[in-house]
Structure 1
Amino acid sequence: MSDDEFRGLRRAADYQFGGGGGMALFAGPDALDVTHTSSGRPRQVHATDGRIATYGADGRFRLGLAGGNRLLDAFDAPRHRVVVGDESEPFIREGRNAFAKFVQSADSELRPGDEALVVHEDGYLLAVGRAELPGSGMDDFETGMAVKVRQGAED
């Protein structure tokens, strides 16, 4: 991977996840394996711990579990987090969606369409996905899908 491409990925991650997002996801270019589309655009970013993210055609990242864990370690709560309890944990781990009635708290800055980390109340990652409701209202809603889970942290 070229230095320009590496810096571009970091800039895009900083824009999407806020300052420090690029450093958290992409520590160094040597440890990354990037696949490209036929036009040469980055598509998948992998590291030794798994898929970090997929770079979409819209210029936004879709997190993998490895990327979710990196952001979880890099940012203090509640940033990018949706917290759920024991009742929904096994279902979310299997990759099922997180529903609003089970949300205990959420980052008030989350907007529908943002990447979200679904975490257990004890702080460990259960899944990564796309927020469907605003974070400021997730714990207020009694019905509806809070997070469309893309990948669960199945054991």
Structure 2
Amino acid sequence: MNCDRKRLTRVRMIADYQFGKGIGKELFPEGATFQLSRTKRVRQVFHSGKRIATARAKDGFFTLSIEGASIIHRLLPGRKLRVVISAEAAPFVEKGKTAFIKHVVEIDPELRAGEEVLVTDEADRLLATGQLLLSPAEILALDSGAAVDVRVGIASKKEE
């Protein structure tokens, strides 16, 4: 087994654990390429020249690009991995601005603080991807503060 094959198997296993069984193969298809750190660890995963995900140094889990988030959004049913925000906040979030608690309409109750999430509007249109800052219970109980640290919105495209 060559190195790239081992890396592909490994990143797929991590994605399956992080996002759900079977996601890894879809998120990182055959032909995925890797940018490595100095220590030869996978830092970024690309497919067709576009960044799909970046491995976080602290835990090895993935942060998603909009391309990666779009793949997961298409694959996951219902409200899984989603933070749904109100229509009034949607234009700001899709530009990459923070999603605040007061704008959260619905949230996947199985999420945990620190997880990578998809931010959508009430029609389930993908707006952004980012990191959940509090637990769903805290978000639903509180009236103010940040809910999702938005990494990139669909209208910001500040990545590549």
Calculate the TM-score normalised by the size of structure 2: 0.89
Give the structure 1 partner of residue 116 of structure 2. 115
The separation in 1 between residues aligned to 2:50 and 2:99, in whole angstroms, is 23
Give the structure 1 partner of residue 79 of structure 2. 78
SS of 1:10's partner is helix
Residues 9-62 of structure 1: CA distance to partner in whole angstroms, max 9, x if unpaired? Answer: 000111111212212311x221x2211111111111122373211012221101
- Superposed counterparts of 1:35-46, under 5 Å: 35-46=35-46
Q: Do the aligned partners of residues 127 and 147 (structure 1) sit closer, same or farther apart at CA in structure 2, a change above 3 Å counting?
A: same
Alignment partner of 1:24 out of 12, 16, 26: 26
How many residues align? The count is: 153
Is this contact kept in 2: 1:105–1:138, CA < 8 A? no
**2:89 equivalent to 1:88:** yes
Give the structure 1 partner of residue 105 of structure 2. 104
The separation in 2 between residues aligned to 1:132 and 1:106, in whole angstroms, is 13
Calculate the TM-score normalised by the size of structure 1: 0.92
Q: CA deviation at 1:6?
A: 0.6
Q: CA deviation at 1:66?
A: 0.7
Q: Do the aligned partners of residues 48 and 139 (structure 1) sit closer, same or farther apart at CA in structure 2, a change above 3 Å counting?
A: farther
**2:126 equivalent to 1:149:** no
The separation in 1 between residues aligned to 2:49 and 2:149, in whole angstroms, is 23
Residues 59-117 of structure 1: CA distance to partner in whole angstroms, max 9, x if unpaired? Answer: 11011111100110111021100001210011101111000100100100111000010
SS of 2:106's partner is strand
The separation in 2 between residues aligned to 1:140 and 1:50, in whole angstroms, is 38
**Unpaired runs of at least 5, structure 1:** none
